[in-house]
Amino acid sequence: MAQDRPRTAAKGSARGTYAVGDARRQKILDTAVEHFALWGFHASSLARIAAACGITQGGLLHHFRSKEDLLLSVLAQSEQHDVERLFAEPPESVAAHFATVVALAEDNERRPGLVRMFHTLVGEAANPGHPAHAYFRQRYARVLDHTVELLQAGVARGELRPGTDCEAAGREILAVMDGLQIQWVLAPASVDMPARLRGFLDRLLRDLSPA
């Protein structure tokens, strides 16, 4: 579990209920992203993460009571970036939502660390005993549900053909996003994620549109 400080309380204002002294805490989180991205959870080492922050392992464990706590804190923070963007505003149309998805892929190209981290962790987390297993199961279920709901709303509005299999389409969309990320992580220069995604989504929308 993440440390229980009144952090989220001071959302909007620059001066909140907590002092700015947690720059160190944030630095640890950022460094952890880099390390988890490169080595995953198991092969990452608290001592190395700490050293990269200029402190010792003992110092790090003052901020996060265990390695697992650090991992879950990292995931909780990173979630906001992705999910808040997709979940925030109910889009006006399916096309608008697809545009958001492409924009997210463009974002991702600019932060390879996060993409690599999720790619690496989702591999490890396939094991039910992995500390992030539950997180990833929930994350996938939630993103899928949300996508399916948006597609169903599109059907209701007449943008999509009646009888569209929204779950199938939603799973396809998630699959293409993830699959392209794999290819991109293995060979970044050779994959244009946003372009491929846009191509796929445009075709999908055309295919699902009423005749």
State the residues that interact with DNA by CB under 7 A.
21, 24, 44-48, 50, 54-59, 61-63, 65-68
Residue 120 is a binding residue for a second copy (CB under 8 A): yes
- Picking from 124, 100, 102, 120, the residue whose alpha carbon sits closest to that of residue 192 is 102
Look at residue 62 and give the partner it binds from a second copy, DNA, none, a contact being a CB closer than 5 to 8 Å depending on partner kind. DNA
Whose tokens are 């994350």? That residue is 139
- Residue 4 region by backbone torsions, left for phi larger than 0, else alpha for psi between -120 and 50, else beta: beta
Q: Figure out which of the listed residues 38, 76, 96, 156 binds a second copy, where binding follows CB under 8 A.
A: 38
- Picking from 56, 38, 39, the residue whose alpha carbon sits closest to that of residue 47 is 56
- Picking from 63, 72, 86, 61, the residue whose alpha carbon sits closest to that of residue 150 is 86
Name the minimum Å distance from CB 59 to DNA. 3
112-124 and 94-109 helices cross at what angle (nearest 10)? 100
Size of interface with a second copy, in residues (CB under 8 A) = 45
Q: Figure out which of the listed residues 43, 47, 96, 156 binds a second copy, where binding follows CB under 8 A.
A: 43
Q: Residues interacting with a second copy, by CB under 8 A?
A: 37-40, 42-43, 116, 119-127, 136-137, 140-141, 144, 165, 168, 171-172, 174-180, 182-183, 185-187, 191, 195-196, 199-200, 203, 206-207
